[in-house]
């Protein structure tokens, strides 16, 4: 990852943590809590209510994950227009909430798949607009901290959502738990409107509508390919966290511990993962502004190398597995914050939406490839080989990040914004 300059904030500049920035963090928190409520019970819903097996779940999740990447790419040009990005962000949060909760009304597997795909497409489409909107609310030297707030909100929601689902399932059942995911989703849609209003107050009275374009040639000229090279290596090793949970469950299901008990412990460890990611995102944002995102990204990759080394090791002590989950949480919290920050720093506002869209596509496609290959290696060989494979990609990302030559003017295009 190329290094971008990170000048220090001085007393003459406005504070960066405004109501708008806080509202975007809140929107990420509520939205993630809502769809994690539904996601955590979706396997049970498909198996017990829809009588669908692992193949059905895999097909639905694989399709949805592919669509979210393509939708992020498509959302890039839409995010470039200051007037349009607010509507895309607000509408995306609302559609995600409604489509996710509507799964609780379904009576057939194809309906679940269609609604899940719609929800994930809305998540992808809104993402570049949200990120571009966020960067329009803060001074350049606070991009890292603003990204950290958004990522921390997202990871905190991933803690609260499954815990809420665990409580609600015992009280109202699986179907109604999915329906209740609408509530935090609506809060997310309301929260993002605060940021949209704050951004609109900063717009000039007359704004020319910007033409829709992927601007790939300009992105390449700005150096985005070089920046995304280590990101691509990272994402190809960034497997789904469900595989980490499965590995922990398999290892913990020993020594007289029941499968139910092993699953419960693994879920608690996953909550610790998300807690570590929340703290790391906030800390990584501050460090990105002080030292630059390159250092933060390399630290995130290195943390994953250590985590995967533990997961590759056949042992059953939960404290050791807890350490692995925390390391992985720190890795994702640092890396994702750095990825967003470096794209924001190197591109002017007129290209920033495109940059976030391409970043989202790389993230989604890389993570999908990582999960497929790791799952295959796990099945045909061993989990040790599978996690070793993923760790190798993370190590490659560290090496490339260190070796990438820093541009002399990392945001030269800013002057043309």
pLDDT at 415: 35
pLDDT at 183: 97
- Write down the mean pLDDT value for the chain: 87
Asked if residue 243 has pLDDT above 80, the reply is yes
- Per-residue pLDDT of 143-178, as tens digits, reads 999 999 999 999 999 999 988 988 888 889 989 999
Which of 3.90.180.10, 1.20.1250.20, 1.10.3080.10, 3.40.50.720 would CATH assign to domain 19-201? 1.20.1250.20
- Per-residue pLDDT of 38-75, as tens digits, reads 988 887 788 788 887 666 776 787 788 789 999 999 99
Rg of the chain, C-alpha, whole Å? 21
pLDDT at 14: 52
CA angle 110, 111, 113 (to 5 degrees): 65
Q: Confirm whether 19-201 and 213-412 share one CATH topology.
A: yes
pLDDT at 70: 92
User: Of residues 188 and 255, which shows the higher confidence score?
Assistant: 188
Give the up-direction half-sphere exposure of residue 260: CA atoms within 13 A in the CB hemisphere.
Answer: 0
pLDDT at 300: 98
Q: What is the CATH number of domain 213-412?
A: 1.20.1250.20
pLDDT at 13: 46
User: Of residues 416 and 220, which shows the higher confidence score?
Assistant: 220
Domain residue spans of the chain: 19-201, 213-412
Q: What is the pTM of this model?
A: 0.85
pLDDT at 178: 93
- Count Cβ neighbours within 10 Å for each residue of 110-124 and write b for 16 or more, e otherwise: eebbbbbbbbbbbbb
Task: Tell which phi-psi region holds residue 54, choosing left (phi > 0), alpha (psi between -120 and 50) or beta.
Answer: alpha
pLDDT at 54: 64
């Amino acid at each position: 990852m190329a290094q971008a300059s990170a000048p220090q904030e001085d007393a003459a500049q406005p504070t960066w943590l405004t109501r708008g920035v806080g509202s975007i963090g809140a929107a990420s928190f509520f939205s993630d809590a809502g769809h994690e409520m539904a996601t955590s019970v979706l396997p049970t819903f498909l198996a017990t209510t829809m009588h669908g097996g692992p193949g059905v779940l895999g097909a639905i999740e694989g399709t949805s994950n592919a669509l979210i990447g393509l939708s992020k790419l498509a959302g890039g040009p839409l995010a470039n227009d200051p007037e349009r990005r607010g509507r895309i962000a607000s509408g995306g949060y609302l559609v995600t909430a409604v489509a996710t909760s509507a799964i609780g009304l379904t009576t057939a597997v194809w309906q679940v798949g269609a609604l899940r795909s719609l929800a994930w497409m809305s998540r992808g489409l809104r993402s570049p607009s949200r990120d571009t909107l966020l960067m329009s609310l803060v001074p350049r030297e606070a991009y890292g901290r603003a990204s950290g707030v958004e990522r921390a909100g997202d990871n905190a929601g991933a803690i609260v959502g499954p815990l809420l689902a665990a409580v609600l399932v015992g009280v109202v059942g699986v179907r109604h738990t999915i329906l209740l995911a609408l509530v935090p989703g609506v809060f997310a849609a309301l929260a993002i409107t605060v940021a949209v209003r704050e951004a609109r107050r900063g717009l000039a009275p007359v704004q020319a509508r910007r033409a829709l374009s992927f601007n790939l040639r300009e992105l390449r000229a700005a150096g985005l390919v070089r920046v995304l090279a280590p990101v691509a290596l990272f994402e190809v090793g960034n497997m789904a966290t469900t595989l980490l949970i499965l590995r922990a469950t398999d290892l913990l299901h020993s020594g007289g511990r029941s499968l139910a008990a092993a699953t419960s412990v693994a879920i608690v460890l996953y909550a610790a993962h998300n807690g570590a990611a929340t703290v790391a995102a906030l800390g990584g944002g501050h460090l990105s502004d002080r030292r630059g995102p390159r250092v933060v990204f390399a630290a995130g990759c290195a943390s994953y190398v250590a985590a995967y080394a533990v997961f590759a090791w056949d042992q059953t002590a939960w404290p050791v597995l807890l350490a692995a989950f925390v390391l992985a949480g720190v890795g994702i919290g640092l890396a994702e914050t750095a990825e967003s920050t470096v794209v924001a720093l190197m591109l002017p506002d007129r290209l920033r939406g495109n940059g976030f869209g391409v970043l989202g596509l790389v993230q989604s496609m890389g993570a999908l490839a990582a999960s497929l290959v790791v799952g295959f290696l796990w099945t045909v060989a061993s989990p040790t080989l599978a996690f070793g494979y993923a760790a190798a990609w993370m190590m490659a990302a560290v090496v490339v990040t260190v070796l990438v030559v820093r541009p002399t003017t990392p945001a030269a295009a800013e002057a043309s914004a």
